[in-house]
Amino acid sequence: MVRLAGVTRIYPKTASSPLVTALADVDLEVAVGEIYGVIGRSGAGKSTLIRTVNGLERPTSGTVTVDGVEITSLDAPRLRAERRKIGMIFQHFNLVSSRTVFDNVALPLEFAGADRATIAATVDPLLDLVGLADKRARYPVELSGGQKQRVGIARALATRPKVLLSDEATSALDPETTRSILALLSRVNRELGVTILLITHEMEVVKEICDRVGVIDAGRIIEEGTTYDVVTRPKTETARSFLGTLTGRALPPGLAERLLTSRDGAKRAVLRLLFTGNLAEEPTIARLSRRFGTDVAILQAQVDEIAGRPFGSITVALDAAHADDAALDAFLAEAGVAVERIGHVA
């Protein structure tokens, strides 16, 4: 559905800023009907990437194809026509303050030259879908942030797009409202069959609704895969650092300060045990303690669902004498538990 091939975007040097490479040889594919998330820190290239998909940014090199049409080869009139297949929702809503909810949603249809009957037949069902039928005559100033974003989603769907782009759509919302918006996007994807490409720096967004995810850093996609695989088994240090708070890999500051890289003088080893699937609910720590006759102190633990599947991360301390025991590795491997040795404590 969406394909970026070798996309590079370089902003030319100016008197006030040096040459900037916002995207560097990006290859990316989003399948029909999936929700694909791109996560990265501020300045990593997320916004530039998503703006190349609807032609708001022209890549310096490479091609962007949406629903079989190469966007990068279109002239201005044809690009405007193709953009009707690509909806977009924004972080700050971008509603017209002087127009009602109904009229904001109707705006792209008016631009397309639709008649009043067509507009009404399109907008009213969309207001039902986003739960704002009773707010059709209200103005943006009368709405909450979540309601404004629902208007933005309805407006983005007005031209019946095949692809929906989400540019940090939940960043300005509180956690509860964020969950409700993500539930709405999942419903749009499921019921309308709309393919969704979203960018975010919020880990909860990725965990909640994305089928697959790509991690972007310095304009490059440094790893990608299913959400579960990338979040639970990140391959790069950037991804591990970025996803640490979501998966329990980020150590508490007090423990991080006491952590020793050398075993000299240390009585306890610190291990991180990673449980996937139903293993996250098994009493593996108790079995380990009984099997090896050692006390196991739980320093940090987190059990959660990633993309609808259980995942557990438990940081433990145990006698250093057992930490490098091949029998311990064999026990954990047999239990299906991955282990990371992260240091020692006195």
CATH number at residue 67: 3.40.50.300
Give CA–CA dist 166/164, Å, rounded.
7
What CATH number does the domain containing 314 carry?
3.30.70.260
Show which of 208, 224, 245 is a domain's final residue: 245
- Spatial CA neighbour of 238 closest among 46, 49, 44, 47: 44
Q: Tokens in use for 14?
A: 């100016």
pLDDT at 329: 84
What b/e readout covers 213-241, taking b as 16+ CB neighbours within 10 angstroms? Answer: bbbbbebbbbbbeebbbbbbbbeeebbee
Domain endpoint, select from 245, 277, 308 = 245
Predicted local distance difference test score (pLDDT) of residue 245: 60
**Number of compact structural domains in the chain:** 2
Q: Which residues contact 336 (CB under 8 A, 6 or more apart)?
A: 275, 276, 277, 279
Nearest to 40 by CA among 276, 236, 313, 184: 236
Provide the residue-wise pLDDT of the chain in tens; the chain has 346 residues. 899 999 999 998 777 778 889 999 999 999 999 999 999 888 899 999 999 999 999 999 999 999 999 999 999 999 988 988 999 999 888 999 999 999 999 999 999 899 999 999 999 999 999 999 999 999 999 999 999 999 999 999 999 999 999 999 898 888 899 999 999 999 999 999 999 999 998 888 888 899 999 999 999 999 999 998 888 888 888 887 776 666 556 677 777 777 777 777 678 888 888 887 666 567 888 888 888 888 888 888 877 788 778 888 888 888 887 777 788 888 888 888 888 888 888 7
User: In terms of domains, do 37 and 132 share one?
Assistant: yes
| Alpha carbons 87 and 311: distance in angstroms, whole number | 34
* Domain co-membership, 123 together with 212: yes
Distance CA 337, CA 253 (A): 25
Of 245, 265, 287, which residue sits at a domain end? 245
Separate counts of helices (H) and strands (E) for the chain: 13, 14
Q: Domain residues for 81?
A: 2-245
Q: Are residues 191 and 335 in the same domain?
A: no
Residues 221, 188 contacting (CB under 8 angstroms): no
Same-domain pairing of 256 and 130: no
Give CA–CA dist 41/331, Å, rounded.
38
Predicted confidence at residue 102, as pLDDT, reads 97
**pLDDT of res. 249:** 62
State residue 279's pLDDT score.
61
Give me the pLDDT at residue 148, please: 95
The pLDDT value given to residue 139 = 97
Report pLDDT for 226: 93
Give residue 280's pLDDT: 57
Give the pLDDT confidence score for residue 241 in this predicted structure. 76
Whether residues 75 and 100 share a domain: the answer is yes
Same domain, 62 and 188: yes
Whole-angstrom CA distances from 249 to 70, 240, 244, 279, 300 are 41, 8, 4, 18, 9
Residue 58 sits in the same domain as residue 92: yes
Looking at the structure, tell me whether residues 238 and 267 fall in a common domain.
Answer: no
Distance of alpha carbon 245 from alpha carbon 203, whole angstroms: 8
Asked if residues 228 and 305 have their Cβ atoms less than 8 Å apart, the reply is no
The pLDDT score that the predictor gives to residue 106 is: 97
Q: Is the dihedral of CA 46, 26, 68, 70 positive or negative?
A: positive
